[in-house]
Amino acid sequence: MGGQAVKVEESSWDVEVMKALGLVMVDFWAVWCGPCQMVAPIVEELATEYAGKLRVMKLNTDENPEIAGRYQVMSIPTILFFKNGQVVEKLVGARPKRQFKEVIDSLLTQPSPTA
């Protein structure tokens, strides 16, 4: 599995994100959000480029408000990076692809936090 962003929802959250090994990037978005639509192709490109190194997930905040609330997602797009079920980085708002790559490359070189 790899090469594309995978939809995640409350029912699959624990398995797909909290118990996942390695780095997981979650794009919190909504259909009506213009900046989210701008970021969407970048998220897909990153999923392809980092296939095998990074799991890329997309969470629709309108369909999963509990999870968005749990992580204090107040504005979208918000991109959260998880390692071993812990948030290790947060990006809010539309960003250029270069900024995403800098964060991902940095996180991939860091040792994983211990739970």
SS3 per residue for the chain: CCCCCEECCHHHHHHHHHCCCCEEEEEEECCCCHHHHHHHHHHHHHHHHCCCCEEEEEEECCCCHHHHHHCCCCCCCEEEEEECCEEEEEEECCCCHHHHHHHHHHHHHCCCCCC
Residue with tokens 């812990």: 86
- Asked if residue 24 is part of any domain, the answer here is yes
Catalytic member of 26, 36, 46, 67: 36
Q: How confident is the model at residue 49, as a pLDDT?
A: 96
- Asked if residue 29 is part of any domain, the answer here is yes
Domain span holding position 39: 6-109
- Asked if residue 92 is part of any domain, the answer here is yes
Could you tell me the CATH number of the domain that includes residue 54? 3.40.30.10
Q: How confident is the model at residue 114, as a pLDDT?
A: 55
Q: How far apart are the C-alpha atoms of 46 and 42, rounded to whole Å?
A: 6
Structure token digits, residue 27: 């794009």
Structure token digits, residue 70: 């749990």
Please, what are the averages of pLDDT over each run of 10 residues along the chain (115 residues)?
83 96 96 96 97 96 97 97 96 96 95 57
- Asked if residue 1 is part of any domain, the answer here is no
* Total domains present in the chain: 1
Q: How confident is the model at residue 3, as a pLDDT?
A: 72
- Give pTM, 2 decimals: 0.93
Q: How confident is the model at residue 115, as a pLDDT?
A: 47
Instruction: Reply yes or no on whether 35 is catalytic.
Output: no
Q: How confident is the model at residue 67, as a pLDDT?
A: 97
Catalytic member of 5, 24, 33, 42: 33
Instruction: Reply yes or no on whether 36 is catalytic.
Output: yes
- Asked if residue 42 is part of any domain, the answer here is yes
- Asked if residue 13 is part of any domain, the answer here is yes
9: left (phi over 0), alpha (psi -120 to 50) or beta: beta
